Amino acid sequence: MSFMSSTNVNPDALAVAAAHLENLGASITDANRAAAAVTTQVIPAAEDEISAAIAGVFATCAQDFHGLAAQAAEFHGGFVQALYSSGKSYLAAEASSAAALVGTGGPTAAQVIQLYGNGPIAENAFPYGSLKQLSFTQSVAQGVQILDLQAQQALSVPGNTISIYGYSQSAVVVSLEMANLQAHGVPTSNASFFIVGDPMNPNGGFYERFAGLQMPSLGMNFYGATPSNAYPTKIYTIEYDSVADYPRYPLDIFSDVNASLSTNHFYYHVLTQQQINSAIPLPTSGPTQTQYYMIQSPDLPLASAFRGIPIIGGPIADLLQPDLTYLVNLGYGDPLYGWSTGPANIPTQAGLLPPLSAFQEMPGLLASGTQLGIHNFIGDFTGTGPNPITLPSLSSIISQLEHPQTLLNSLIGHSGANSILNGLLGASSGSGAATGAATGLSGIVSASPATLGPALSATALSTLAAIPVTVGNTITEVANVVSNLASDVYSIGYVTADVLNAALISIPSYDFNLFLDGLLQAFNGEPVQGLIDAIGQPIASDVGLYPWLLNLWVGAITNPSEAAGPQSGIASIGIG
């Protein structure tokens, strides 16, 4: 059971792109059709044979062009249909995963697919992507408004019940909608919720770890915890999900780096039924209508960073992973678990230090982890480890060096190798290298001055005729590059200013409030712990927040012209 590499796909964006391409293709086809008559029936400039021949050449070229244009249009149409189909396929896959998580009594896959097509919120928000899109807070507010309207419409039919599904950003929308339903007087028997990758997860969600933080420059509010006793709810979390399973003690640098490297937040749509069934129920405390489940991660993100190293990456990761796991888990409060083992329904903010008992366990665990890591490292080379490596034989390497064609095939593929060799030796498509070389040389040697002169003249004329078009295309391309560069520079500067605003104003303001909370705790009868928290809590929060802010800035500026935020899913309602 493992998580494979993933590609984040926005089905709505694919549909929009396909529609734009379809319109573009239609415009090009119309233009080609309009130009066909005047380009394929060229009138000779005079009545002599040369003029007629030149007109015939231009007409033939035009016919060839329109033939190629027709083939291109056919390919374009197929590509557009592939985009449409791909978007629907990804939508169906995510909807099936949602329905599997929801389980009995929730929306079916078909219902989720239907509702996904009318999703209320965008999957990304500033500072990820375009400056013109909504901020995160604005996007969430709009999503709550639309989701509430849909819920009320569904519940207006007597006997209807609703099941609401949310993932990531839409999990925030769904969590805030609970209060609206309560305000509308919707009974608990009429609504249920299913949430994955919840940023407002009470004990692990990033928005609860730093509840109360506001970043107006970035349009972000840290909303706190998802209500645990409002309606029947199931919340699934993947271990080490940096959004829904953030470390409780950010002073653990290993935990922070592991969270920064984790991509587990993007795997909920590919969870198998076996992984869902094997999820661990988490303990709760007091009255609650929410069930919490943790899906264990097969690999530690921090150790997985080494696996990309050729050949020895896997053994190095297996050598380090046991001890790194204990060091990372210490940031959650217990070196044996990659999540906070406190009650899952109790809102839990970031703390200063793990309990003393966790530190007392570390020496023995690190010793055993070192032994296990060495055993796995050796086993990977002997074939008995968790990830045995396979080394290429010396004979196969020598064989490839003796046959360049084979080596090129292995590196860039058969067709790519042929293209390179044929291009170097002058071979035509479909002919061998030697044959191509002989053909090219014999063609030049056998050419007579009588045939070579007109050919060179025609080539020169066609080259001269193409110069204005080439220059025009070059100018257009340069203008587009300059325009895009200016837009990117502006976007980067804008985002950088907003991030600096958050770093220099919003986070220090949050730190000051934590300091005041510690002083208030000291005045209320806990002088020692209160003073420790007044000084330590702001430091611990900064250790977690500033690297996160840096990571957000890097992600925003490396994709300044396109949406690059986390996959958010879309809030969906199933009607039963």
In a domain, 543, yes or no: no
pLDDT at 434: 43
Domain endpoint, select from 30, 60, 90 = 90
Q: Output the domain CATH number for residue 80.
A: 1.10.287.850
55, 90, 125 - which closes a domain: 90
- The pLDDT assigned to 11 comes to 61
Q: Same structural domain for residues 423 and 564? A: no
Percent of the chain whose predicted confidence (pLDDT) is above 70: 70
Of 40, 69, 90, the one marking the end of a domain is 90
Q: Are residues 80 and 125 in the same domain?
A: no
Residues 403 and 370 in one domain: no
pLDDT digits (tens, 9 = 90+) for 396-447: 556 655 665 565 555 444 444 454 445 444 444 444 444 444 444 344 344 4
Domain holding 425, by residue range, is 392-435
The CA–CA distances, whole Å, from 175 to 248, 266, 570 equal 21, 20, 13
- Please report whether residue 477 resides in a domain: no
pLDDT digits (tens, 9 = 90+) for 82-134: 776 776 666 566 555 555 555 544 444 334 333 333 344 444 555 555 555 67
CB proximity list for 87: less than 8 A, separation 6 or greater: 9, 11, 12, 14, 15, 18
349 and 414 fall within a common domain: no
Helix (H) or strand (E) holding 215: strand 214-215
Lowest-pLDDT choice from 169-178, 208-217, 270-279: 270-279
pLDDT tens, position by position, 337-383: 999 999 999 999 999 999 999 999 999 999 999 999 999 999 999 88
Q: Are residues 347 and 416 in the same domain?
A: no
Say if 446 falls within a structural domain: no
Structure tokens at 97: 């995963």
* Contact yes or no for 388/380 (Cβ under 8 A): yes
pLDDT category at 187 given cuts 50, 70, 90 is: very high
Establish if 156 belongs to a structural domain: yes
CA 257 distance to own-chain centroid: 19
210 within a domain of the structure (yes/no): yes
Instruction: Please list the alpha-helical segments (H only) found in 224-312.
Output: 253-261, 273-277, 301-304
Confirm whether 484 is domain-assigned.
no
Interval 32-78: pLDDT, tens: 777 777 777 777 777 787 877 887 787 788 788 878 878 888 887 88
Confidence of residue 395 (pLDDT cuts 50, 70, 90): low
In a domain, 79, yes or no: yes
One domain, residues 310 and 381: yes
233 and 128: one domain?
yes
Our count of domains for the chain comes to 3
Which entry of 135, 139, 163, 168 is annotated as an active-site residue?
168
Output the pTM of the full model.
0.68
- Reply yes or no on whether 168 is catalytic: yes
C-beta separation of 558 from 129 below 8 A? no
What span, in angstroms and rounded, lies between the C-alpha atoms of 396 and 378? 25
Residue 451 lies in a domain: no
